[in-house]
Amino acid sequence: MKKIYLFLFIFLLLNCSTDEQSSTENTESNQSEEIIFEQGFGKNPSEYVANWNRLVSEIASDEETLFYFSINPDNVQWTSTDRNILLYQFGLNENTQSAFVLNILIADDTVVGVEFFSPVASDEITAQRTRLFFLIIIALSDETLDKDGRESVLSKVGLYDEVESPNQVGGGVTLNKVRYVVEPLVDRGVLVGINFYSTRDSE
């Protein structure tokens, strides 16, 4: 079990609000709260989904956020008869063009990695959702990382880099035997999506 502080996630969610005063008050009131979660790698698929939802339920500031980021177990689907990848799509009720897609990689009924697709859009909400999804995935990949450690992953995979071409977006890093990679999805010179991979390194 691992404790992490809530204020980072609350701050990310409240950045989507246009009410600056309300956001400040809510952030300050939640900075001292803690949440408890279990990492997802090494668990079976049902446990991974349960741990994901447990983390989301703790960090969600409202029902809309809880609904959007939670995984409905009934809608998780195998992508093939090999039963080695489970697929889940977020945001279908809003707009299929901006849906986030999570692939859960399975080996011997154990979660060994995830592949996550995020659309690229000009609105701030999509950007904030992307960052929060990335942080959730990192937290469930390695519970030993603290707030600074998770931010360091985002920095080392190139999420904050300034680039001249969309093809230059991204990078990779390995920490505590977990490999994190960001790759751009480019169509006719335009960045249309970002793929984020988090997988256990082979031993």
Segment 10-48, tens digit of pLDDT: 333 333 333 333 333 343 334 335 666 778 899 999 999
**How far is 53 from 136, CA to CA, in rounded Å?**
10
- Whether the predicted pLDDT of 122 surpasses 90: no
Alpha carbons 93 and 133: distance in angstroms, whole number? 18
Confidence of residue 184 (pLDDT cuts 50, 70, 90): very high
Percentage, residues of the chain above pLDDT 90: 50
Average pLDDT (143-152) is 89
How sure is the predictor about 147, in pLDDT bands with cuts at 50, 70 and 90?
confident
For residue 74, pLDDT over 80 is answered with yes
Q: What is the pLDDT of residue 92?
A: 78
Residue 125 CA to residue 17 CA, distance in Å, equals: 9
Distance CA 121, CA 144 (A): 32
The region, left, alpha or beta by phi > 0 then psi within -120 to 50, assigned to residue 9 is: alpha
Helix (H) / strand (E) element for 49: namely helix 45-59
When comparing pLDDT for 83 and 15, which is higher? Answer: 83
Residue of 18 and 134 predicted with greater confidence = 134
Cα angle: 142, vertex 104, 54; to 5 degrees: 60
Cα-Cα-Cα-Cα dihedral sign, residues 74, 78, 84, 90: negative
Which of the two residues, 6 and 120, has the higher pLDDT score? 120
pTM beyond 0.75, yes or no: yes
Whether 135 shows a pLDDT value over 90: the answer reads yes
**Mean pLDDT within 142-152:** 89
Give me the pLDDT at residue 124, please: 83
Residue 10 is predicted with a pLDDT of 33
Q: Residue 47 CB: number of other CB atoms within 10 A? A: 14
CA distance 41 to 110: 8
Report the chain's mean pLDDT, rounded to a whole number.
Answer: 81
Token pair for 120: 């690229």
